[in-house]
């Protein structure tokens, strides 16, 4: 294989490993704060979309042999990159596990009593 490509690939792998470790450290520093973790996930998704729609599409192969090589690489190395979102059902499952007092943190017990009286 081309020695230059091997060096570039090795350098890229090293940089990707450092980036992965930095992301993991950042995520761990946000542990327990769902809003910060959600912001991190949104940023990752936006970066994925920016790279895919900009740089990746601009570098798309311009001949059949290069396209075939790209498709073979996608097939051999785990398919198309995809950022999977949490299913709404899973999120609602967590909400069902909450106690009734935790359902609406803005609502106080006094508000609940007033609402019950209004319904009668």
27-63 confidence digits (pLDDT tens) = 999 999 999 999 999 999 999 999 999 999 999 999 9
CA distances 21 to 11, 28, 66, 117, Å, are 16, 10, 32, 55
Please tell me whether residue 92 adopts helix, strand or coil conformation. Answer: helix
Whether the pLDDT of residue 2 is over 90: the answer is no
Q: Can you give the pTM of this predicted structure?
A: 0.65
Contact 48, 85 (CB under 8 A): no
């Amino acid at each position: 294989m081309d020695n230059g490509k091997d060096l570039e690939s090795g350098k890229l792998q090293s940089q990707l490993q450092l980036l992965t470790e930095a992301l993991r450290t950042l995520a761990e520093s946000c542990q327990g704060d769902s809003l910060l973790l959600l912001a991190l996930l949104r940023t990752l998704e936006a970066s994925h979309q920016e790279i895919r729609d900009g740089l990746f599409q601009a570098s798309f192969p311009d001949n059949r042999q290069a396209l075939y090589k790209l498709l073979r690489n996608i097939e051999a190395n785990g398919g198309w990159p995809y950022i999977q979102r949490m299913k709404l059902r899973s999120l609602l499952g967590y909400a069902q596990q909450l106690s009734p007092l935790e359902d609406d943190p803005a609502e106080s017990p006094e508000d609940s009593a007033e609402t019950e009286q209004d319904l009668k």
